[in-house]
Amino acid sequence: MTQPTTRAARAKRKGKPSGRATFEPTPEQRTTVELHAAFGTPHEDICLNIKKVNGQPISLPTLYKRFKNELASGSTRAVAKAAGKLYTLAMGGNITALVFYLKTRGGWRESEQPVRIPLPADGGLTAQGMTIIQAVAAGKLPVNQGAALLTGLSAVARLKEVDDLTARIEKLEGVSHGKT
């Protein structure tokens, strides 16, 4: 029987490893990848910072294969540290941190307190609408509250139109039937 003549078979007979050397990450490289993952560095850029023995950057498949745990845990640890710092600040009396924490983790939300805007009684609906628009523009009234007021004002205007039309029709019908 003849011996196989492939390069791998010949190298095996001579005791030499065949093929490309397997990339084995160092502890320093693992730390670097974990930090880059925590900072949100794009994976392509992480590859450029991790070099093989020959000085060439690793490929994306190698990054995903050899640093799977570091990529997954890097961002999780960063978020955990930031949340811990936020909690420490909030419990230490930092009002901004406390409010943010309660809104995001405690389910709190800001309640909209009604704002009172004096509307002119004698200027009609147009003057009242302009007062509302000016209050929104000046920042005295939130936009959503201003929009709600203008919607209500336009509904009042339509009701007023119906009342005016009804009065006109009744007046015309009274005249045509001989009533004055």
**Rounded (10°) angle between helices 124-137 and 143-176:** 170
Please provide residue 77's backbone torsions phi and psi, each rounded to the nearest 5 degrees.
-65, -40
Q: 0.85 exceeded by the pTM?
A: no
First and final C-alpha spacing in the chain: 130
Beta bridge mates, 57: 51
pLDDT digits (tens, 9 = 90+) for 102-119: 777 777 666 667 778 888
pLDDT digits (tens, 9 = 90+) for 8-57: 666 666 766 666 778 999 999 999 999 999 888 999 999 999 999 889 99
Q: Which DSSP string corresponds to 76-109?
A: HHHHHHHHHHHHHHHHTT-HHHHHHHHHHTS---
pLDDT band at 165 (very low <50, low <70, confident <90, very high): very high
Could you state, in order of their start, the residue ranges of all structural domains in the chain?
24-104, 124-176
* The amino acid at 14: K
